[in-house]
Amino acid sequence: MDRETIAKVAKVARLALTDEEMERYAQDLDAILNSFAVLDEAPASDTYALNPVPVVDVLREDEPAQEIDPQLLRGQMGTYEDYVRGPRLS
């Protein structure tokens, strides 16, 4: 990696590097970036999925249904003139 690139990286990271440190970082960054060359050898695929597990819709369709008879429910609740009474708000 060239000295100019190392100087730009150091400036962005707000590091004051000596010449010796710049040489050492240049070698280190070269080694790091060269290790990514292994990814170039990975097999390519035309279909990339973001999720390795396929996501399918497992929800049922909404169908309106009434499981409890409203009259029976209101009869058990103690209503007043067919209205449900709640606690008094102060």
Show me where the domains of the chain are located. 3-41
Band the pLDDT of 12: cuts 50, 70, 90: very high
Burial 61-84 (b: 16+ CB within 10 A, else e): eeeeeeeeeeeeeeeeeeeeeeee
pLDDT one-digit tens code per residue, 18-64 = 989 999 988 998 999 899 888 888 777 777 667 778 778 888 888 88
Q: Is the pLDDT of residue 90 over 80?
A: no
Rounded to the nearest 10 degrees, what angle do helices 3-12 and 19-35 cross at? 100
Considering only 4-8, 13-17, 32-36, 38-42, which range has the smallest mean pLDDT? 38-42
CATH architecture designation of domain 3-41: Orthogonal Bundle (1.10)
pLDDT on residue 20: 92
